[in-house]
Structure 1
Amino acid sequence: MGIRDIGVRVGHGTPGPFNSITDVQGVRVGHRTLVENRAEVSIRTGVTIIEPCPGIARFDPCYAGVHVLNGNGDATGLEWIREAGLLTTPIAYTNTHSVGVVRDALVAAERATLGESQYWCMPVVLETFDGVLNDIWGQHVTASHVHEALAAARSGPVEEGSVGGGTGMICHEFKGGIGTASRRLATRDGGWTVGALVQANYGRRDALRVAGYPVGDVLRDLPSPFDKRQTGVPGMGSIVVTLATDAPLLPHQCEQVARRASIGLARVGGGTEYSSGDIFIAFSVGNHGIPPADYGKAIEPVISVRSVTHDFISPLFVAAADAVEEAILNALVAAEDTSGQRVHVPALSTARLLKALEQVGWRRPADRAERPFTD
């Protein structure tokens, strides 16, 4: 169930066949979800893996770029992307206190795949805080869970909501988690695809907007899972975003695309809380034969790469913003009511959302053709 399945359209353009980051050829996603009740704690956490291409290794890197809207969060591997413009490992999402074990497990997986043929690797691991629903201090994510998420990575439809790294996340004071969406550009705009995958764990309920409508105005008085004395304050948390495209982009252009995640986030009502870590990464699979990151492994001193011209890059920015906006909303409508460590967190059910939309003036649109980006 996604936001489109209930008749709500956001942004412009046409999604790919899966309306997912996996609409970008070669991209795969895998989850490992941990849900367990113990005598004194509740475990609601996990790992999500994004592979830019099957079995990506340092010998076939992607160009990539990073943007941080607000830095109240943590990540590994971003400085190398900023320096070299290269993504050389899968990307992982998990909870705040499991970044280290996930990073180490990805290092071990790289060595198991490539043996002594490489010197080092710097995995990219992004986090958001799930300690309201999950026993985060227990650090229940293990290396085996990471390996299982890697083994589960597939193309095609992506499970959303309370799964993988998003299992214990809260978004706009409703149950949040993993969401994904995509946009396919018109042929005259290049015909490329942009896909987004988010781990949404941010935001105040009264700020929530859906398709531009201020539904937070009519949902604000519902009971909140946050209690300042016990579980923190509304708006605390973070969001991490990965954008993928098959458009041939250079590293600085990937960073430009990553920046546009901020627009999609703002449309839903996020991006203004100091307590949020808003970290975005974008990568392109549109160039191949980029030299590996290992010193001394390049065959030629100069390579030829392709790049989208500036006259054609704006539709990619539109697609990135739209895909992020829809991915966040998909995370919300796909999530389920969840009880955990300290609280019960309600889902933004489709019935509740549709009622709120109607209260603020939204009307279900008649069937219409999707608008190309250059209309």
Structure 2
Amino acid sequence: MRARSLGVVVGALPTGPLNAITDVPGVLVGHTTVDDGADLHTGVTAIVPESLAGGGLPAAVHTGNGYGKLVGSTQVDELGVLESPVVLTATLSVFRAADAVLTYLMGRRPDGVSFNPLVGETNDGFLSDIRRRPITERHVLDALEGAAGGLPAEGCVGAGTGTTALGFKAGIGTSSRRVTVGGNVAAGGSGGTGGSEVTVGALAQANFGGLLTVRGVPVPVEEVVPGARRPEPPGNSCMIVVATDAPLDARRLGRLARRAVFAMGRVGASYAQGSGDYAIAFSTAPPGAPAVPDPALDPLFAAVMDAVEEALLNSLFMATTTTGFAGRTAHAVPYDRRYLG
């Protein structure tokens, strides 16, 4: 069940109709899941902005901790432009996935001579035999070509099939918020007059350590799941993708991306030295639209923080108990009203 179905409501801002990153117009999501029921629990998740067909989009990457392999990030940092879909997968499959994205881009730009695939990862080696590197070009192309609107699958799917977070089984989660920017914005960042209503969406691949915290209440796996042990190592990284139709340049998108990593702290992230924590933010606003001025960014900051927090909770609440490589088990969060109600 998603967080809201359990009565866990994050913040006061309204969500989009799907409460998902796909509420941002033109943003599609696709998954390929690789699960043999035994040693392989992994996959690919692709976030595909349709407007990329017309060229690059303003974008930024924030590195909370750089213990990871985010292929293509330095060019995004340098130019402030996203040139490809964002693809997420497992650590040792990231390089094959990047090559597959190159195939995808070359097929759509036959005259191009330079491409910058953006591919991120987390380490799902607790539940999946990561050294087998099972992700193929076809897996990546299927996720990209199958990307669609609607509510994306969450939990143990795509790049989240084998991930764990905060002591529990985790996976993919998503959420969104609607806010008004510009004009006379009401308290809380919505319901203003004279401004424009925009959407902020987030998708997270959760695989990091810490103590799960739900609306300020700690939920230690050792206490709520009898006999459970924390996955070792206790999570390795988090990838967060933020999309918005608010007109923002790369610098301002960088400010949103930083807030996305900050939001991990709300759910109890430990920000361990071995956790590669990254956020990618991009805007699908039409080219030439004047950027939201810095003094008007507060509603967007609030939207990012709330959407990421809820996306992370959804990544856990939608996951199911999984036994994988070497017989290791990661337990789902129990729907216990003492903690979640």
Q: How far off is 1:344 after superposition?
A: 1.2
Question: Which of 68, 73, 95 lines up with 1:73 in the alignment?
Answer: 68
Q: How far off is 1:120 after superposition?
A: 1.3
What is aligned with 1:82?
77
Contact 1:262 1:271 in 2 (8 A): no
Query: Letter of the aligned partner of 1:287 in structure 2?
Result: P
What is aligned with 1:97?
92
Q: 1:222 to 1:315 in 2, by over 3 A?
A: farther
Q: 1:222 to 1:15 in 2, by over 3 A?
A: farther
**2:50 matched to 1:50?**
no
Question: Which of 340, 356, 360 lines up with 2:339 in the alignment?
Answer: 356
Name the Cα RMSD after superposition. 1.7
CA displacement, residues 31-57 of structure 1 (integer Å, 9 cap, x when unaligned): 0000114xxx61100000001226x34
What is aligned with 1:233?
233
What is aligned with 1:168?
162
Q: How far off is 1:190 after superposition?
A: 3.2
Q: How far off is 1:233 after superposition?
A: 3.4
CA displacement, residues 313-369 of structure 1 (integer Å, 9 cap, x when unaligned): 11000000100000000010000111100201111132x3x2334xxxxxx5xxxxx
Q: How far off is 1:220 after superposition?
A: 8.5
**2:128 matched to 1:143?**
no
Distance (Å, rounded) in 2 between the aligned partners of 1:336 and 1:222: 17
Aligned residue-pair number: 327
What is aligned with 2:172?
178
What is aligned with 2:292?
308
Question: Which of 224, 229, 241 lines up with 1:224 in the alignment?
Answer: 229
Contact 2:166 2:212 in 1 (8 A): yes
Query: Letter of the aligned partner of 2:31 in structure 1?
Result: H
Counterpart of 1:287 in 2: which secondary structure? coil
Q: 1:239 to 1:63 in 2, by over 3 A?
A: same
What is aligned with 2:19?
19
Distance (Å, rounded) in 2 between the aligned partners of 1:244 and 1:281: 8
Distance (Å, rounded) in 1 between the aligned partners of 2:334 and 2:15: 23
Counterpart of 2:261 in 1: which secondary structure? helix
Distance (Å, rounded) in 1 between the aligned partners of 2:233 and 2:55: 44
Counterpart of 2:114 in 1: which secondary structure? coil
What is aligned with 2:186?
none
What is aligned with 2:276?
277
Counterpart of 1:14 in 2: which secondary structure? coil
**2:207 matched to 1:201?**
yes
Distance (Å, rounded) in 2 between the aligned partners of 1:47 and 1:262: 22
What is aligned with 2:329?
344
Query: Letter of the aligned partner of 2:152 in structure 1?
Result: V
Distance (Å, rounded) in 2 between the aligned partners of 1:110 and 1:143: 13
Q: How far off is 1:222 after superposition?
A: 5.0
Contact 1:225 1:344 in 2 (8 A): no
**2:217 matched to 1:210?**
no
What is aligned with 2:253?
254
Contact 1:198 1:240 in 2 (8 A): yes
Distance (Å, rounded) in 2 between the aligned partners of 1:313 and 1:355: 36
What is aligned with 2:115?
121
Query: Letter of the aligned partner of 1:212 in structure 2?
Result: G
Contact 2:167 2:220 in 1 (8 A): no
- The structure that has the greater radius of gyration is 1
Unaligned runs of 5+ in 2: 180-189
Query: Letter of the aligned partner of 2:12 in structure 1?
Result: H
Distance (Å, rounded) in 1 between the aligned partners of 2:21 and 2:153: 11
Counterpart of 1:335 in 2: which secondary structure? coil
What is aligned with 1:368?
none
Q: 1:81 to 1:309 in 2, by over 3 A?
A: same
Contact 1:62 1:287 in 2 (8 A): no
TM-score scaled by length of structure 2: 0.92
Distance (Å, rounded) in 1 between the aligned partners of 2:227 and 2:146: 37
CA displacement, residues 88-128 of structure 1 (integer Å, 9 cap, x when unaligned): 1000000000011110001011111221x111111100000
Q: Name the % identity.
A: 40
Query: Letter of the aligned partner of 2:228 in structure 1?
Result: P
Unaligned runs of 5+ in 1: 227-231, 289-303, 358-363, 365-375
Q: How far off is 1:263 after superposition?
A: 2.5
What is aligned with 1:372?
none
Contact 2:261 2:278 in 1 (8 A): no
**2:30 matched to 1:35?**
no
CA displacement, residues 248-269 of structure 1 (integer Å, 9 cap, x when unaligned): 0010000000000122100001
